[in-house]
Amino acid sequence: MLEFDTLIIGSGLAGLTLALKLADRQQVAIVTKRGLLDGASAWAQGGIAAVQTPDDSLDEHIRDTLTAGAGLCNAKTTRFVVERGAAAVSWLIEQGVPFSRSEGSGTDFHLTREGGHSRRRIIHAADATGKAVQQTLGEQVLAHPNITVLEQHIAVDLLTGRKLGKREARCYGAYVLDKEHDRVRTIAAQNTVMATGGAGKVYLYTTNPDTSTGDGIAMGWRAGCRVSNMEFMQFHPTCLYHPHAKSFLISEAVRGEGGLLKLPDGTRFMPQHDERAELAPRDVVARAIDYEMKKGGLDCVFLDISHQPESFLKEHFPTIHARCLALGIDIARQPIPVVPAMHFTCGGVVTDLAARTDVDRLYAIGETACTGLHGANRLASNSLLECLVFADAAATDILARPESAHEALPDWDESRVTDADELVVVSHNWDELRRFMWDYVGIVRTTKRLQRAQHRIQLLHEEINEYYRNFHVTADLLELRNLVLTADLIVQSALSRHESRGLHFSKDYPQTLSVAEPTILTPQRQA
């Protein structure tokens, strides 16, 4: 059994930030199922939203967030996060993150603007902000003597009071599969933090990496945590449409810098859908593209920024320019073919302002958590900000808590399982799940489609749980188990919302109710 003061499951921006803020006073373990920098944070192109100039204000950033969130953002949480934005960015600058500077300036940082923002307030590192931030923090994590990084390890489940025969709702650590040695290890921890990201891989088309399988949300639910707002799955309007470009995102900042959405004949269409046109929030733009594609029987639409000078595009969007050029698309001279793709999980495990869940000593931060910030639709570039603010909040709470003795935890019991006879069951179920979630629980929904999805999920649940009980666990099986549970929570939440709001649009309930209420699901069996 391994013992640590704090166990962090996940190595995105939230997890790395928390580890660095704890490590001078604690022994910290980071469990990550691939390499340290393989999560969704490193894929973030846009940047971090924070008020940093005299012509901007906290109230404007708050208002933009609340507007995008379609009335469902928690006002207290929103102010809590926005007020801490400048300090969060300053901390990253102190760590050495190479943010882009304004042209001709050696000191001022370049701020960009994205859909839903009334001001330029997004600090960025060209069009690869997440990569720059993760590399900077990752180097510090690997160099810190009090941080143990367990790569190629995937969490199996949390060790809660119920599993130890206790009645208390408390977390004592986790079972973790060491993929390289094919063994399940027991990790005891005073505090356990889920920072596992979102659930993009529940859908057929997503901008997320393969690691985004809803692990923390599913583990939290099984441990007895409430889950909220899972119907609000954000589809990014502009994912590159190309047979050889898997999950490549075209940043919202392209529209922020003047990119125009057009039909194949060159006609702009966003002004007909919203007065903010290309700068409308993501849910509006994604629905407009979905409408135009279905109306015209189109495979994609086009994002045109060719009116900007080539030098400007190479400076501001070097990654996008190079990737498109490698695929035969010169964005300085031709439009970019784009389609919507699942991008961000706005809901998750319910937490408070200290990142605490319903289970004692169990925290959730980043995309895994539902803090109330995003409401019914996340405002662009608020996600990395949320990671930073709540990692700091969790660190403050954890360091203020008294230490307690480690429990003697049981080893993982494999005495009654055998090797799987047919692994094709896992791959087939994974493919089926992602396809029907895309078809039935996508950008536009109906009650009938949701019920069809729910029926299929119940069948998959039974098959996968039987598989889990009888065979040795594998990484693929664990991810599929978590994805199916997460899909069930998405559908349950969608069926319970009898209105259209933000990212959830139902043909059966097209109106928006006068009072905005969060969807909160509570597990029947508490930890």
Residues designated as active site: 282
Residue pair 4/29 in contact by the 8 Å Cβ criterion = yes
Helical axes 129-143 vs 383-400, angle rounded to 10°: 20
- DSSP character for 378? P
Distance CA 14, CA 366 (A): 5
Dihedral (CA of 367, 369, 372, 376) sign: positive
DSSP structure class, residue 169: -
Q: Provide the 3-class DSSP secondary structure of residue 494.
A: helix
Q: For residue 63, what are its two tokens? A: 């208002």
Query: What distance in Å separates the CA atoms of residue 503 and residue 347, rounded to the nearest whole number?
Result: 11
Question: In a 10 Å sphere around its CB, with 0-12 CB exposed, 13-18 middle and 19+ buried, how is residue 170 labelled?
Answer: buried
Q: What angle do CA 118, 123, 125 make, to 5 degrees?
A: 140
Other C-beta atoms closer than 10 Å to the C-beta of 304 total: 18
Q: Report the chain's terminal Cα–Cα distance, integer Å.
A: 22
* Residue 122 β-bridge partners: 49, 112
What token pair was written down for 61? Answer: 């950033």
The rounded distance, in Å, linking the Cα atoms of 429 and 434 is 9
Distance CA 406, CA 3 (A): 8
The span from the CA of 189 to the CA of 28, in Å, is: 9
**3-state SS string for 299-317:** CCEEEECCCCCHHHHHHHC
Q: Which residue has the tokens 């405002």?
A: 379
Q: Give the separation between CA 522 and CA 508, rounded to whole angstroms.
A: 25
In angstroms, the CA 440 to CA 213 distance is 19
Nearest to 520 by CA among 64, 74, 69, 8: 74
Residue tagged 């859909």 (tokens):
115
- Residue type for position 443: I
Range 400-404, long-range pairs (CB < 8 A, 24+ positions)? 401/190, 401/191, 403/5, 403/190, 404/190
d(CA 20, CA 92): 12
* Residue 229 near residue 89 (C-beta atoms within 8 A): no
